[in-house]
Every structure is written in structure tokens, then in C-alpha cells.
Amino acid sequence: MASQSYDDRDGTIWMDGRLVPWREAHVHVLTHAMHYASAVFEGQRAYGGQIFALTQHSERLVRSAELLGFTIPWSVAEIDAACRETLAASGLRDAYMRPIAWRGSEQMGVAAPNARIHLAIACWEWGAYFGEEALARGLRLDIAPWRRPAPYTAPTASKAAGLYMICTLSKHRAADRGYDDALMLDWRGQVAEATGANIFFVKEGVLHTPVPDCFLDGITRRTVIALARARGVEVVERAIWPEEMEGFEQCFLTGSAAEVTPVGAIGPWRFEVGALTRQLMRDYAAHVRGNRRGD
């Protein structure tokens, strides 16, 4: 059975300062963001009626817009409040949330300095991003044909819509080849991230993760690093080359949508869904629900 279309649902969406019926949350076909990718967004989750790391997400949304050359006409505190209002209106306790800001339709062409800046926030029920089965067996990742761009070629510190074009292409190709997702290398050929999540490896009890110098330093990534260090686990942020994957024992992804999801294979390399991965999955699940540890 096909999933319900995202434009045909009950509920409300916060849009430019007010809640509107879900099916009436429209933008014009000549919206600048549709043609020139002048949009930034966030992905965040609510657990038990509380939005995890809400202010961090709102702050990043504002920074992302500034990197794209526009200012969101709502403060971080106002964005936080709008997110809470949207969640309350949904009636959901556990939900995925999508704030998005974009240039409107007042101007058409590459330059649109006078286009109105819009902000919308939607939320919906969304379980395990990769499905419950993946949490048990671990994901299978292909190697993406596209690479994360150098920071001098794109605003890579921004969670900008345009930067996800190659993620979509890479994930579609992976799905066509029977994989769950794809590992993206960066422009140097080093390990970067999956199509929408950061990546970690385990070797001899030590966590290794790429330096986020051309992709997002994810909020979930930073949370998991802190949780690991709180347990006395050494975390090494460094350049990682693909051939090193042969020597890693475990692997997992982190992200607001993915949460902590184990990886069982990347291309020809195999990984165990091991004890440290399982522990960090429990720790993260406990942490986002307000509990200190997942023992």
C-alpha cells in the first residue's frame, strides 16, 4: 500500500506566522527557491512532547540562511515558539519536524535580493527512518558516485536544499542497486557521510569519525560524541580513507531522522552490529527522552 502523499493530509502547518490547514499550505510555482534552491531547512524530532535540541536546530536554521545571504524575519526564540505551537497543534507526542525558510516569488532570475523570506514548519509521525529491521541487521550501503563538494565551492556549513541534490541522486542509485543508502566520499576521496547522516566507525573500542569540514557537523553527531566520551570511550575525529574500512569492526550512522542506526556493510566491507553500537543506540534513546543513561 502506498504511503499517504505529503500534500494530502489532515492537520495544520505553521506558515509565515499562523497555522493553516495542511492542504492549504501552498507556494507559487515561480517561487525562487524552486528554481534556484534558495532554501534552508532543519530536521528535528520530538520525544514525549518535547523537541530535542530545539534551540540548537533553530540557531542552525538562522545561520544556514545567513550563509545563503538572507535573514529569516523571526528570531531564534520565535522559531522555537512556532515549533512548539506546531507540535501542540498536531496532537503528537513523538514526531518528526521540518522547519524550512526560503525566498519567495517576488523576483525571478538568479538574483532575488528583494524576494520575501518565508518560514514554514510541519510535523508528522515518522518511525525509524530506515525501518525497524535495519536496527537489527544493520544497513547495507553502496558507494555513492557523487562526492561532497569542497567548502570553497559551496556553502557546505549550511543545511541548504541545493546541497541535497547529489544525496537524492546517490540514494536513488543505491536503492536501484538493492542497497539501503550510500556512503559519500568528499572531493579529496576521503570518507564523508551517508546521504543524510553522519558516520562513525569502531576499532578496538575507539570511535573514529570524519572531520566535518565539508559537510554538516550534525547535532546528533555531537550528542553521540558526548555520550560516548561520558562512558570513557575515546573518540577520534580525523581524515578517514576508504581502504581503512577493511580494518573497522563496527559502523553506524547518526542523524535527527536516522537517530543511531547500525551499518552491516558498505560495498565489499562488512561490520558487526556490536556491543558499543548497541550501547550508544540505547544511550541516545534514553538521552533524547530526558534520561541520563541507557544502561
Q: Is pLDDT larger for residue 147 or for residue 137?
A: 147
pLDDT above 80 (res 291)? no
Instruction: Indicate the CATH number of 12-124 among 1.10.760.10, 3.30.470.10, 2.40.50.140, 3.40.50.300.
Output: 3.30.470.10
Location of each CATH 3.20.10.10 domain in the chain:
132-288
Note the pLDDT of residue 1: 35
Share of the chain above pLDDT 90, in %: 93
Mean confidence (pLDDT) of the chain: 96
Annotate the chain with three-state secondary structure. CCCCCCCCCCCEEEECCEEEEHHHCCCCCCCHHHHHCCEEECCEEEECCEECCHHHHHHHHHHHHHHCCCCCCCCHHHHHHHHHHHHHHHCCCCEEEEEEEEECCCCCCCCCCCCCEEEEEEEECCCCCCCHHHHHHCEEEEEEEEEECCCCCCCCCCCEHHHHHHHHHHHHHHHHCCCCEEEEEECCCCEEEECCCEEEEEECCEEEEECCCCCCCCHHHHHHHHHHHHCCCCEEEECCCHHHHHHCCEEEEEECCCEEEEEEEECCEECCCCHHHHHHHHHHHHHHCCCCCCC
Nearest to 214 by CA among 277, 139, 146, 168: 146
pLDDT above 90 (res 282)? yes
Confidence of residue 292 (pLDDT cuts 50, 70, 90): low
Which tens digits make up the pLDDT trace of 147-158? 999 999 999 999
Note the pLDDT of residue 132: 84
Q: What is the mean predicted confidence (pLDDT) over 242-267?
A: 97
Helices 219-230 and 275-288, interaxial angle, to 10°? 110
Note the pLDDT of residue 66: 98
Identify the architecture of domain 132-288 in CATH: Alpha-Beta Barrel (3.20)
Note the pLDDT of residue 125: 95
Which tens digits make up the pLDDT trace of 20-63? 999 999 999 999 999 999 999 999 999 999 999 999 999 999 99
The structure's pTM equals 0.95
Q: Annotated catalytic, 203?
A: no
Location of each CATH 3.30.470.10 domain in the chain:
12-124
Note the pLDDT of residue 285: 96
Of 45, 159, 171, 208, catalytic: 159
Note the pLDDT of residue 3: 74
